[in-house]
Structures are given as C-alpha cells and as structure tokens.
Structure 1
Amino acid sequence: MNDDNSGRRLALVVDDDDDIRFLTTIALETTAGWEVVNASDGTEAVAVAAQRRPDVVLLDLMMPGMDGLATTDALRAQPETADVPIILLTAKAAAGGTVPWEGAPISGALTKPFDPMSLAAQVSEILGW
C-alpha cells in the first residue's frame, strides 16, 4: 500500500480522454476513498508513477504516441514501478478469443464503458484486496 501514512490506496489513472480521467477519479475517490493522480499519456504516466509509486495503475490501452502496452513495458523497466499492478481500461473487446494484451505483464483488464459505482470493487477484486 502507498506509504503516505493515510492508509488510503493511491491509483494512477492514465487516459488521453479528459472525461474518462475525470469520471474514473470521481468514482474511485467517492466510492472507495482512494487518492487518485492522473496522467494524460504514457510518457507522463511513467514519470508520475516513478515519483508517486501508486498502489495500482489504471491504464488506457489505446492512446496516441505511447499506447498502453508500450507504457506497461516502460513501467516494468524502471525499478520504482516494476511491481506496481497494472489494469488496462479498454474499449477493445476480444475478437475470436484473442486480446491485444495477451501475455502482457498486467493484472487484468476492464472494459469501457465501466460502471463507476463498482469500479473500485472490480479493481479490488482483480488485485485480491
């Protein structure tokens, strides 16, 4: 858990869509009392994660520039974030049983649109919290 002494979970939400970041932040803060920090792209996410060391990264799969999978690789490559759980937020559904993130070092994936009221519970379930 984040070591800021508050006992609250710290989530990093990474999405190029301002509305998704806002909705996700409000959902996690109000339904679970988590602290949330945001990044609008993969490069920013890698820097913020190294500095803040979140308990979980909720990461959009499809972003311009550094997409979710490239961001995952960058997070795994730096010691400060190598073990941080990553959950992809994606609008991509599995086609023919395969998913673009197959074999990626992630904890799970959630489909957008998601239910804001149950998002924290879904993340907690994936991570066994």
Structure 2
Amino acid sequence: MSSTYHIGLLLLRLGFSAMMLTHGIPKLINLVQGNLDFGDPIGNGNTLSLVLTVIGEAICPLLIIIGYKTRIAAIPTIITMGVAAFIVHAADPIATKEKALLYLIAFIVIALTGAGKHSVDRR
C-alpha cells in the first residue's frame, strides 16, 4: 500500500473521531457529574443509554484516534450512529439526520479498512 493510503486512513480516523469527541465529551462530563437526564431510544433505561452513548461517542473514538483495536472500537460508534439516524431521528428530514449518517458511513469505512500503519496496533 502506498504511504498516501495510510495517511488517508490516519486523517479519516483522526478527523471523524475528533469531531465525534465534541459530542461524546459533554455526555461523559454529564455522566461523571451524575446528570443522567438522557433519552432512552431503545428501551434500556436512561442511565444505560447514556453509558452506551458515552462508550460510542467518547471512549471508542479515543481508541480509534490512537489506532488501538480500531476495527472493534468502531463497532459501538457505528451502532450509536445507527440508533441516532434510524431511531432517534427516524421521522426527521434528511437534513436533521445527515450528521449521524455521515458519521455512520465514516466509521463503517474505518471498521472495514482498519487503522493503517500509523497506529498503536502496527507498532
């Protein structure tokens, strides 16, 4: 594989995961502070839904940034974005669910391609 391919994978991982953290870190802060006011889109309860979302939007993107178990780490984020796009925003227009769909597609690509050579897993 060419070096530009691996740079492309690195940029994909860093860019989308860093942007995802802007959604996940506020939720992580709420969880740590005990503010468990969160939606329950799939019937797991508010607290469990928040914990699962924090895993998908904060913990796993951090793992993806460093390239540790990238393909596995992308799975919770894919599930989280699938729930956001197809359950939480199911009745909304495409413009509302567009961000979740873009993240979904990006993390599916990350899961399919892996981290590339610029990652903890490759060291």
| Band of TM-score, shorter chain | under 0.3
Which of structures 1 and 2 has the larger relative contact order (alpha carbons within 8 angstroms, sep 6+)?
A: 2
Structure ID, larger Rg:
2
User: Which structure has more strand as a fraction of its residues?
Assistant: 1
The TM-score normalised by the length of structure 2 is 0.23
